[in-house]
Amino acid sequence: MNAIISASELADELAGGAPPVLLDVRWQLSVAKAAGEPPFDGRAAYAAGHIPGAVYVDLDRALASAPGEGGRHPLPDLAVFGAAMRAAGVSARTPVVVYDGGQGWAAARAWWLLGWTGHPSVRVLDGGLPTWEGPLSTDVRQPAEGDFQPVGGTPGLLDADGAAALARSGVLFDARAGERYRGEVEPIDRVGGHIPGAVSAPTTQNVAEDGRFLPADQLKERFRSLGAAEGTDVGVYCGSGVSGAHEVLALAVAGIPSALYVGSWSQWSSDPDRPVAVGPDPQ
């Protein structure tokens, strides 16, 4: 099954006899704001209008555990994650579609986590909510309890040592903005720069101006040009394992399997014993 779905395809499936479970995962990275500016409230955005039938999922509570040694968005406790998914109506035999406000990062995190824990059919709405042309709803749906039971320990996950090794043996993509990769700016973490050997591949270059993914052949050519040759092991990291999931999704659209270093730069840079590279050169 394709990893992404268009708004028109989603509308057709929702109108059919076996609609997918639909998850609204609107979220924005919390960074320093002007004094008095409130943080983004995904639940309030959902309440103000969402695709009919969608259930809201809180990324920080359901798709990650509390910030700490594992980074800003470590893996959630699987029991907590499973309970949240079942409460949202997710079952093992029912397809799932996830969307966010258009950036695609949060939806990709849900897509990756559901797939990594064993759900066989998860897709992301390409371009997110802005591509939806149908009506919006303010009804808060209370779905029937699902039966999804997440399973950990499957391939597709990197830790810090695994990411360091992959940067030498395969290709490790850094999905952050180029200036953060080069260490020119670092608005969030302790130190700027990148994992030695990692290749800069900003996730923003995987999409068109409307937020939709580039065609699969263009994505494949992009990643091949950056070192993801046939048979090469590929990994991705970002700041805290959210935008990196979007890069993993782009790689999947291109037909290239990859693994995600969830701790990402927020974990790596917090350890003073981990080496840091700066500048445009991977090393």
Alpha helix (H) ranges present in the chain? 7-15, 42-48, 59-62, 78-87, 105-116, 160-169, 178-181, 216-225, 243-253, 264-268
Q: Which of 238, 250, 251, 252 is catalytic?
A: 238
Cα–Cα distance between 213 and 207 in angstroms, integer?
A: 4
Cα–Cα distance between 280 and 108 in angstroms, integer?
A: 27
Cα–Cα distance between 271 and 202 in angstroms, integer?
A: 24
238 is catalytic: yes
CB burial string 225-242: b at 16+ within 10 A, e below: eeebeeeeebbbbbbbbb
Cα–Cα distance between 60 and 159 in angstroms, integer?
A: 20
Contact 198, 226 (CB under 8 A): no
Contact 23, 54 (CB under 8 A): yes
**Which strands form 157-158's sheet, in the order they lie side by side?**
157-158, 259-261, 234-237, 171-174, 199-200
Going by their DSSP bridges, the two strands 96-99 and 157-158 should be labelled as unpaired
Residues designated as active site: 238
